[in-house]
């Protein structure tokens, strides 16, 4: 079976004694900073429903929501028994283990608190946050690829990789599939939706489009991604990622229907 040689990139970019700078951490930083700058730019465009200053001050809240929510989501959704038996390891985020669905809920809670404290229209603000989120998803999936984690199922496609910790067989580079769909494609689609006055002026529509876009992308890619070893296939042959994404798609459809009936 043909396979592309995996690029042996050290997960640690540089190390100074016990301090290591990892590509994974840099991916989170890049996603947050670029998303923050993009959000400020969007807020400065004609017709924006969010002030530039409000977008500028949101970075710290976004960081807390992503890290706390992502880590707790991974602990509760994927390895609750293990972490309840080893609670101190919950704090060891440098060992990996983040959940997008948990990070999404974390940012949602952080945004709700932030908007209430600043008297900002929640749905208008979360719409803008949704537009920039694919940037972070893109960099996160590229970091997963560099770390040789979350790889795909075995295959004979000509672009398959033999991952160093994925056994001897060629596998789908599912991390790159996700970077493309959840990252680049969703980024372009949401930007095009945001540019339309009829949708931007109905807070909630863009957030609904994000939920649908991410949920469908994740459901599709999960057919090529190897399920987590400790979970395997669940009800009906679905994966945990698919089961968590179905409610997102349904919520997105309901949110769009609700937002289209509301007035600004």
Task: Please give the backbone phi and psi of residue 225, each rounded to the nearest 5 degrees, phi first.
Answer: -95, 140
Q: For residue 20, count other CB atoms closer than 10 A to its CB.
A: 13
In this structure, are residues 154 and 206 in contact, taking their beta carbons and an 8 Å threshold?
no
Q: In whole angstroms, give the CA distance from residue 169 to residue 1.
A: 8
- For 161, phi then psi, to 5°, come to -120, 150
Q: Is 141 annotated as a binding residue?
A: yes
Q: What φ, ψ does residue 19 adopt, rounded to 5°?
A: -95, 120
Q: How far apart are CA 134 and CA 59, in angstroms?
A: 16
Beta bridge partners of 154: 171
* CB proximity list for 231: less than 8 A, separation 6 or greater: 78, 239, 240
Integer Cα distance of 12 and 164 in angstroms? 16
**Measured over all CA atoms, what is the biggest interatomic distance in the chain, rounded to whole angstroms?**
59
Query: Which residue numbers belong to the known binding site?
Result: 141
């Amino acid at each position: 079976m043909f396979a592309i040689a995996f690029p042996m990139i050290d997960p640690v970019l540089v190390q100074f004694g016990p301090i290591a700078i990892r590509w994974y951490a840099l991916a989170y930083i890049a996603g947050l900073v670029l998303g923050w700058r993009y959000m400020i730019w969007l807020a400065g465009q004609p017709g924006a429903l969010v002030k530039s200053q409000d977008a500028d001050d949101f970075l710290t809240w976004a960081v807390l929501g992503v890290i706390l929510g992502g880590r707790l989501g991974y602990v509760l959704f994927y390895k609750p028994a293990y972490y309840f038996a080893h609670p101190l390891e919950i704090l060891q985020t440098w060992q990996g283990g983040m959940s997008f669905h948990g990070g999404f809920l974390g940012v949602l809670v952080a945004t709700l608190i932030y908007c209430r404290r600043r008297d900002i229209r929640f749905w208008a603000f979360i719409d803008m946050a949704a537009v920039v989120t694919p940037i972070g998803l893109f960099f996160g999936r590229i970091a997963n690829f560099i770390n040789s984690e979350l790889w795909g199922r075995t295959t004979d496609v000509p672009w398959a990789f033999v991952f160093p910790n994925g056994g001897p067989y060629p596998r789908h580079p599912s991390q790159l599939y996700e970077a493309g769909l959840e990252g680049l494609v969703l980024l372009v689609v949401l930007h095009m939706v945001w540019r339309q006055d009829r949708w931007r002026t109905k807070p909630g529509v863009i957030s609904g489009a994000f939920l649908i876009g991410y949920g469908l992308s994740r459901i599709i890619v999960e057919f090529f991604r190897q399920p987590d070893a400790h979970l395997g296939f669940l009800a009906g042959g679905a994966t945990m990622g698919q089961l968590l994404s179905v409610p997102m798609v349904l919520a997105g459809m309901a949110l769009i229907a609700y937002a289209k009936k509301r007035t600004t």
